[in-house]
Amino acid sequence: MRKALRIIAICAFNIALVALFFGALEWVVRRVQIKRIGTDKPLPSSRMDRWTGWQNTPNYGRVDIRHNGQGFRRDSEVSREKPPNTVRIFFLGGSAAYGCEGLFPELDPEWKRIDNTELIDNYLEKLLASRHPERKWEVINAATNEFRLHQHLMLIHSKLAAYSPDAIILMDGHNDMSGMMTPQADYQAFEGTPHEAEFRELVSPKSLRSLLYINATWLRHNSMLFAGIMRRAQHRVFGEHEEDIFKGDPGNSKERVTLSDLSPPRQEQAKRALGRVGQYTTMAERVHHALRFEGIETIHTLQPELMFSRKPLTRVEVALLDHTRATNGRYVDYLYENMRPEISRRMTASAQANAYTFVDLQDALDTTAKKAFTDYCHLSSHGNELLAGRIYEAMRGKLIPQLVAKAGAGEQSREAATGASIASR
């Protein structure tokens, strides 16, 4: 009996010692994170969603990124009911629209975090408010890291339409092209949504792996230490996965890659990928038709890419471009070089045929000598400000007067209804 008690006591002591050790590590990590990002909360910036795959976590915050109670990257709350005399615009996209900082701080001595006040939506809102003060303007950042066009469609149906927006601006391109580049013989946007395996393990747990996923998800939401370990592990695994997909594809140092530069198997994969370009325009048109049904104006934009930029590159941008070409490989470079112009051409024709606004933002940064790119597609505060100006110019001629008039007509209808109610009393 005493022997058994002694074994139990030793086990309990060791468990308590391990718990104390990891508790101390957790405390240290949280103290470090407070100094580094302004919060000791391990809450992830996004959470799983049944309609879109994932969405921004409401009330997430750190020193540079702040989500409001609705999950929008915005410092103020957004009421479900649109305020009087207000033009409400949502800004959608992936990580570039969201305002992700550069991914390679080791290549950028000027690396910095991007604050909520340095985003495209904030600059655009200030432009509209200063130049059209007769209306109140809301430009709300509802962008989400990794999102593709089809996920915007689901976000509009499941959430944004209820906020009665007058217009929605979408800035896309990179993530959708990345999806279409998959070597798989068949690619469909919805079936190709990232993180499907994790989603299925959590919503339909049937194995030990599911149990591990569930526990890991709980720990990621409650432990800063575990969340940090997972981020590092996922980054490493993602890199290995990418290397496996494009294994054997040499780095590219050429200005432009031709089909003959690829191996015969890669040539066949590239032809299949280029045959999917029409899926981008089709999905963009679906978004437009859904918005038109709701009486919402559509502004599609194609985001700029560093490898296509004609701006005078800074020393940092040159280093980032060299790194991008070296890590992309010839297959990826070839597809970007051929996909993007074709998408722009088709979107231009689609916008004319379907009466929506389309802007290719690639040339919006050409005249600046300052750093505009922080990696292959993410932007500096200066780059965001320039894109806001380019989007404003595209809206100014026809769309802004329509939005101003619509808000005025709505205010007149509201005043008339109020007057009639008073008169009937």
Q: How far apart are CA 101 and CA 121, in angstroms?
A: 16
155 CB-near residues (< 8 Å, 6+ apart): 51, 52, 55, 92, 142, 144, 147
Over the chain (425 residues), the average pLDDT of each successive run of 10 is 73 74 64 58 79 94 94 97 97 98 94 96 98 97 97 98 98 97 86 83 78 72 66 52 48 74 93 96 98 98 97 97 92 95 98 98 97 97 98 96 88 51 48
104 CB-near residues (< 8 Å, 6+ apart): 320, 323, 375
For 418, the enclosing helix (H) or strand (E) is helix 399-423
Per domain, the residue ranges of the chain are 1-40, 46-188+251-412
Cβ-contact 289, 160 below 8 angstroms: no
pLDDT score of 43: 65
- Helix (H), strand (E) counts: the chain: 13, 7
pLDDT score of 196: 80
CA atoms within 13 A on the CB side of 101: 14
pLDDT score of 421: 46
Residue with tokens 């032809």: 271
Per DSSP, the three-state class of 147 is coil
pLDDT score of 224: 63
Q: How far apart are CA 361 and CA 306, in angstroms?
A: 12
Per DSSP, the three-state class of 88 is strand
Q: How far apart are CA 344 and CA 379, in angstroms?
A: 20
pLDDT score of 200: 79
> Which pairing describes strands 167-172 and 297-302: parallel, antiparallel, or unpaired?
parallel
CATH, domain range 46-188+251-412: 3.40.50.1110
